[in-house]
Amino acid sequence: MIFPTEHNDQGEFKRQEYQFRDLVTRNCDSGYPAESDRYHLYVSLACPWAHRAIIMRKLKRLEDVIGMTVVDPIRDERGWAFRDGPGFSKDPVNGFAFLSEAYTASGPDYDDRVTVPVLWDKKTHRIVSNADDDIMRVLNSEFDDFTDSDLDFYPEALRDEIDMVNDLVYPHINNGVYRAGFASTQTAYERAVYGLFDALDQLEERLSNQRYLIGNQQTEADWRLFTTLIRFDAVYHGHFKCNKRRIVDYPNLDSYLRDLYQHDGIAETVNFDHIKRHYYVTHDDINPTQIVPVGPDIDFDAPQGRDRFG
């Protein structure tokens, strides 16, 4: 069983809680003031949670403000590792061999699973946050003094609707694919899968008359969903047995996914080699042969026509 401490007696996967939830703030009231070249992201190109932070850093043009190091996509019993390879590297900040070293440096008694993303403070030498939701919002607003981007993906006027959509997407889709893939009983698996496809059906209908999840304006809700959709047909459909339908079988979700993928700079944040090798090699309980499939062949650059919504 994958992550046995994160399952209940019914065989359901129950994701662990985040242990580091401090915030970087623009007004310095958190103890972690927004500063250029003070903070560093540790991420995996394979992980959808880390992908959210990578995308927000890209969209807000913070590459010169916050550094980033990518871990090896192959994770073993020692956890995420820093090695030199295609698209990943050794740790240039602390010289850590494994990301677990950042966790023990920040909390010597930490014994939960080591996860990405991590927002690291180079001044205090500790983790600020390992909560992807918090990191997304910090990058969205708290470093605005250091970027020429005025984009706001969590505008105050839309927050209630964004939160409502997130409350559907996170448990049933983002985490839903994991609840299906990591289920250890048939009942737990079917409960997760039926909830997943019911939520996808709702979004397919929602996207029939608007470009994005919240009208015709991009918000964090879109990018939270994107990181699951982009992995769905390549990984979750087969590896996690989420095989009632593929995203390409949903006309609106499919065109919406390609619309987001074609947004400036987003394609370069997507690495299918890392994604597929991570899931199919790391999860040897699910895929004992560790054979990585060669497909599917999907043209994410194909015309999508969603600009008709404005």
Q: Per residue of the chain (310 residues), give pLDDT as tens.
A: 789 898 999 999 899 999 999 999 998 888 999 999 999 999 999 999 999 999 999 999 999 999 999 999 999 999 999 999 999 999 999 999 999 999 999 999 999 999 999 999 999 999 999 999 999 999 999 999 999 999 999 999 999 999 999 999 999 999 999 999 999 999 999 999 999 999 999 999 999 999 999 999 999 999 999 999 999 999 999 999 999 999 999 999 999 999 999 999 999 999 999 999 999 999 999 999 999 999 999 999 999 888 888 6
Residue where the block lists tokens 């030199």: 84
Which helix (H) or strand (E) segment holds residue 33: the answer is none
> 178 catalytic, yes or no?
yes
Length of the chain: 310
Among left, alpha and beta (phi > 0; psi -120 to 50; other), residue 125 is left
> 154 catalytic, yes or no?
no
Whether the predicted model's global pTM rises above the 0.85 cut: yes
The residue from 39, 178, 212, 256 that is catalytic is 178
- Secondary structure of the chain as H, E, C letters: CCCHHHECCCCCECCCCCCCECCCECCCCCCCECCCCCEEEEECCCCHHHHHHHHHHHHCCCCCCCEEEECCCCCECCECECCCECCECCCCCCCCCECHHHHHHHCCCCCCCCCCCEEEECCCCEEEECCHHHHHHHHHHCCHHHCCCCCCCCCHHHHHHHHHHHHHHHHHHHCHHHHHHCCCCHHHHHHHHHHHHHHHHHHHHHCCCCCCCCCCCCCHHHHHHHHHHHHHHHHHCCCCCCCCCCHHHCHHHHHHHHHHHCCCCCHHHCCHHHHHHHHHHHCCCCCCCCCCCCCCCCCCCCCCCHHHHC
The residue from 32, 39, 42, 47 that is catalytic is 47
